[in-house]
Structure 1
Amino acid sequence: MSPTPLTADFLWQDGSWHAGGAGLSVSGARFAPASGLAGGERVGRFVLPGMPNLHSHAFQRAMAGLAERRGPGEDSFWTWRETMYAFAEAIDPDDLKAIATQLYIEMVKAGYTQVCEFHYLHHGPRGVHYAEPAAMSLALIEAAREAGIGLTLLPVLYMTGGFDGRPLNERQQRFRHDVGQYVALLERLAPLQNDMLRLGIALHSLRAVPEDAMRALLASGVCRELPIHIHIAEQLGEVQDCLAVRGARPVEWLLDHAEVNSRWTLIHATHLTPHETDRLARSGAVAGLCPTTEANLGDGLFPLATFIDAGGTLGIGSDSHISVSPVEELRWLEYGQRLITRHRNVAARRPEESVGTALWQRALEGGALAAATDIARLADGARADLLVLDDRSPLLAARDEADVIDSFLFAGNTPLVRDVMVGGQWRVRDFSHAAEQSAAEAYRVVVERLAAA
């Protein structure tokens, strides 16, 4: 296949803008050298790498907005969780595929080109196993294929209902595997991997995976090279329970009992001491931050400035999908810090540094590491993912390369991602995805039935 040269005025490469010229070409699903190639398609003025979404629970998109009515007492993450469990009760593989396809198309249109799916809805109601044990995982794989997004599938090990080892309740039985069943699921899925599909492992949380099970899993051959994700220290109640049962805070305990390194992504990690923050940063693990969901659930605020100053790596995810936009995640990552510190431009740690470029580059690098992909680079050999900003938009009028990303992130809510390429194929052109109408109709049918159940 002959390489196809692409031209742009500016390409985002290695953390800064470079005059584009004929700086890119696409061969199959990957970027190839462009030198010596004549002509080519001018794709736009400003071209960015696609953004990885490092944390997703796809089925929760269908309940966005349905948990905003006050209960009889003080509402919290734990009351929201009961609403979520009730909603998830009736979802089957066909439903999950329809919901995930709609969500993944929304992601691609917003500028996400890879999603880490933290997938724990494995079985049928009350834990009855499907004839195909991987049925729900396969539904997600098919949804990603139809949407044209890269998928890092993270099947979740979920065994107990608390640090004290209590059994899962009836609604949680859909999530349950023992270690042997879980390894068998990974072995079933591993041969399906390709350039658009990566496999990883997810420990739901320390409260859901006993220490002996964690050690057995991490020692198994199928897991030794895979990325590892875990929910941790999201809620103060979780921190208190871990202290009571294990005698240490969750992040402290994990760092003391596992070889935490760049293979690991710690989702939320909201409640950290300064010592934990420093240790987490030095470990090389990715902090997986989901600001819109963390705000929606009342989780708290991550110690961003301290973590960055310690050399920490971070990425962003849309988690429960009350918002599906890297712009909004990054904006609220910064705004939350401004509210708690009462200072501006917190993520920019050096004089004259741009907040937008600092956030975008950090999220690219951390997200790609968490997703086990190379999509954060517009460079030879990387998967050919890119975003073209709408230089016709009034929001980018009179903006040059010095301030275009700041305007992209902080100038309003008008979509500015005009075109999206994933794996060498245009998935979005002029704000439109070829499958969006059919996916929206299938999604609507499913959600209307679930709402009536």
Structure 2
Amino acid sequence: MSGIWCEAALIDADGGSVAGASAVAASVRLEVDNGRISGIFTGVEPESGDRILNGVVFPAAANAHSHAFHRILRGRTHDGRGDFWVWREQMYRSAAELTPEKYEKLATAVFAEMVVSGFSSVAEFHYVHHQPEGTPYPEPHAMELALARAAVVAGIRLTLLDTLYLAGGIGTPLSPEQARFGDADAQAWLDRLGSLRAAVAWSFPPEMVGVGAALHSVRGVTEEALKTVARQLPTDIPLHIHLSEQPAENEACVQAYGVTPAGLLARHGLLSRRLSAVHATHLTPDDIQLLGDAGSTVVMCPSTEADLADGIGPARALSDAGSTIALGTDQHAVIDPWVEMRTLEHGERLGSGQRGRFSPQELFHAATIGATASMATPIASVLEVAAVCDLMAVAPDSVRTAGSMPQQFAFSATASDVTAVVIAGELVASNGVHVRLGSPGGLLTEALKEFS
């Protein structure tokens, strides 16, 4: 058993949870056993050997949607006009350059950037499965295992979302640029998914690396494949899908199937509490009600949706309808949980003309426990006994946070204010530097040299 002493920590009014009425308690000591919190004591002095965390300590954030290789595009895709579809062609060129070795190096750097920014877990929406011409690697899970090794080295909890991607659009085969994303059919993907689950369970601790499933989109998965997935996908893993990210996707779906993407999922029984719908930017009122009635999670990626000019999704309406809101960094224009929190609220304000669409507590909920159903690995959603000990300490006296109430850091803090990150009770990052790997900036600089 070990101890972590926090100068201050955000706990609920009764001393246990950040989900309800929260309060900042001073001099909080956490007892940690096997990576989990086994005791919480307030108003106490540190004991000999305790890890000291200055600032205000929060549960670490959960990143519910990531494409690690998209980090290649940051700062390289902003010199012209266009839209999502233009950006996608640039993304395909980067995907074509990936090898297992290059991807492991890049993902290690990207995951290290996430860790120092305050994330302790990530759901990686992964579809670059095969060699560029579409044939499997000699080790059929080479790309997937590279990502898992990268996460373990970076110390982040990884939910590896193995993605079904069969079509280049509704009624359109995969293009040559997409060949490495695909499988022969849904059954071949299910077989590969089962094999991957066994390989990961054999090689990695389940609390650090787990496998989930993803459907790329209704553009990328045929209706027949949806039927197969609905019948055969194991029920004990999370399921994700890009949903209604673009109006063109909705229009094509209605033309082909007579319903919206959400309606198509509902038709085949795929809307449920284990489903995470990513983006959900362009929804009808009926779509919102379908997702809400199912209790599905909706993963908003506000910085990406702004960067790609996707639009402002109906987050407040979805939450009111019964959906859980989670947050992701998607293509990594920004990796910063605090920025994602306030960008979600700012989008709501711009769209509605009203302030306070989400309270600071709701925003923090979205950045942590909102991702619970999206993850195959545990997340530290509250400071309570038995929770995993995943923490981030935030400086209350930076030029951004000075004078802020800690409960309202969602409107002032950034990842630059994260002074320490603890995962499974171990210090992983300090003042923007990864304890084992050093500066993520240096790691990224070296990794990105290998891409054009």
TM-score by length of 2: 0.90
Report SS of the residue matched to 1:85.
helix
Equivalent residue for 1:365?
369
Is contact 2:110-2:444 (8 Å) kept?
no
What is the root-mean-square deviation in Å for CA atoms of aligned residues? 2.2
Q: Quick one: structure 1 residues 276 and 438, their matched pair in 2 at CA, closer, same or farther if it must change by over 3 Å? A: closer
The answer to whether 1:220 aligns with 2:232 is yes
Q: Distance in 1 between matches of 2:395 and 2:443?
A: 29
Tell me if structure 1 keeps the 8 A contact 2:368–2:379.
no
Match for residue 124 of structure 2? 117
Call closer, same or farther: CA 1:330–1:442 in 2, change over 3 Å: closer
Residue correspondence of structure 1 range 26-425 to structure 2 within 5 A: 26-34=32-40, 39-40=46-47, 41=50, 42-70=52-80, 75-164=82-171, 166-177=172-183, 178-191=185-198, 192-193=200-201, 194-220=206-232, 223-347=234-358, 355-372=359-376, 373-399=378-404, 403-406=405-408, 408-411=409-412, 413=414, 415-425=416-426
- Cα deviation for residue 9 of structure 1 reads 2.8
- Asked if the contact 1:203–1:229 (Cα under 8 Å) also holds between the matched residues in 2, the reply is yes
Is the contact made by 1:116 and 1:153 (CA closer than 8 Å) also made in structure 2?
yes
- Partner AA of 2:385 in structure 1: D
1:432 aligns to what?
433
- Counterparts of 2:4 and 2:451, CA distance in 1: 47
Contact preservation (8 Å) 2:289, 2:318: yes
Partner of 1:352: none
What amino acid does structure 1 have at the position aligned with 2:367?
A
> SS state of the match for residue 92, structure 2?
helix
Question: Which blocks of at least 5 consecutive residues in structure 1 are unaligned?
Answer: 348-354
**Could you tell me whether the CA contact under 8 Å between 2:297 and 2:326 is conserved in 1?**
yes
User: Is residue 5–residue 38 contact of structure 1 (8 Å, CA) maintained in 2?
Assistant: no
C-alpha distance in 1 between matches for 2:68 and 2:95: 11
Question: Are residues 99 and 413 of structure 1, via their aligned partners in 2, closer, same or farther at CA, if it must alter by over 3 Å?
Answer: same
Aligned partners of 1:263 and 1:414: how far apart in 2?
A: 29
What SS is found at the alignment partner of 1:33? strand
Residues 183-219 of structure 1: CA distance to partner in whole angstroms, max 9, x if unpaired? Answer: 2332233232411112100000112111222222333
**Consecutive unaligned residues in structure 2, runs of 5 or more:** 12-16
Distance 1:334 1:146, change over 3 A: same
The answer to whether the 8 A contact 1:101-1:439 is kept is no
Give me the whole-angstrom Cα distance separating, in 2, the residues matched to 1:140 and 1:113. 16
1:350 corresponds in structure 2 to none
User: How far has the Cα of 1:441 moved from its partner?
Assistant: 4.6
Query: How far apart, in 1, do the equivalents of 2:439 and 2:196 lie?
Result: 28
- TM-score, normalised to structure 1, is 0.90
Distance 1:249 1:416, change over 3 A: same
